[in-house]
Amino acid sequence: MTAVQLPPGEDCGKPPPEGFETFFMRYEPRLRRYLYTLGARNSLLEDAAQMTLEEAFRSWPSLQDHPRQDAWLFKVARQRYAKVCREHLMLGDLTDPVLFDRLHQDDATADCDRRLDVLEQLRRLPGQQREAVRLRWLMDLPYDAIAEAMGVRPSSARSLVSRALAQLAQIQDEDKDKEEGGCT
């Protein structure tokens, strides 16, 4: 189990609030998977995960009774990841997941290339559609949790996912035509 590191000045000898360990064990792997789908790698992923879990720890008194803890967690994670990216960009660090992956490919290039193709296709979707697809198909959230995480109505969440999937199918067809030398 990875321990939650508290920020400097916090009482590290204090036990976590009741139930936080259960929350941590349940959601920490999903949080990392979600951040990975956003494009987070290595230090970006670690920094964003750490910041998100610290916020969950600090917010535990209200979070423990929250009806959609997963939606809260992914919303905060998206915000913390954006903050981490801004900080790394100011330092001149590489933050583009496509470039990062291409620098660190191994011999299994076919799987890596396919994953990069899917990530690139997702990146071509409008922001809200991209986020709705991530939350629905990659994180397996129900539409009401997607709506809460994104700050929209459940019917809007359904609509965003539906439009995104239709657009992804169109993007994949266009990419296939380009590979085969056809016209778009």
Residue environment code for 35-66, b if the CB has 16+ CB neighbours within 10 A, otherwise e? bebbbbbeebbebbbbbbbbbbbeebeebeee
> Helices 143-150 and 154-179, interaxial angle, to 10°?
90
Closest CA to 54 of 85, 76, 86: 76
The reported pLDDT for the residue numbered 101 is: 44
For the chain, the first-to-last Cα distance in angstroms comes to 50
Give backbone dihedrals phi and psi of 47, rounded to 5 degrees, phi first: -65, -45
The reported pLDDT for the residue numbered 55 is: 95
How far from 40 is each of 14, 47, 60, 118, 121, CA to CA, in Å?
A: 31, 9, 25, 15, 17
All structural domains of the chain, each given as residue ranges with its CATH number in brackets, are 17-96 (1.10.1740), 105-184 (1.10.10.10)
For the ranges 36-50, 71-85, 155-169, the lowest mean pLDDT is seen at 36-50
156 contacts: CB under 8 Å, gap ≥ 6: 147
| Average pLDDT of the chain to the nearest whole number | 78
pLDDT in tens, 65-121: 999 999 999 999 999 998 888 887 776 654 444 444 444 444 444 555 666 677 778
Please give the Cα distance from 78 to 130 (Å, whole number).
Answer: 13
pTM score, whole prediction:
0.61
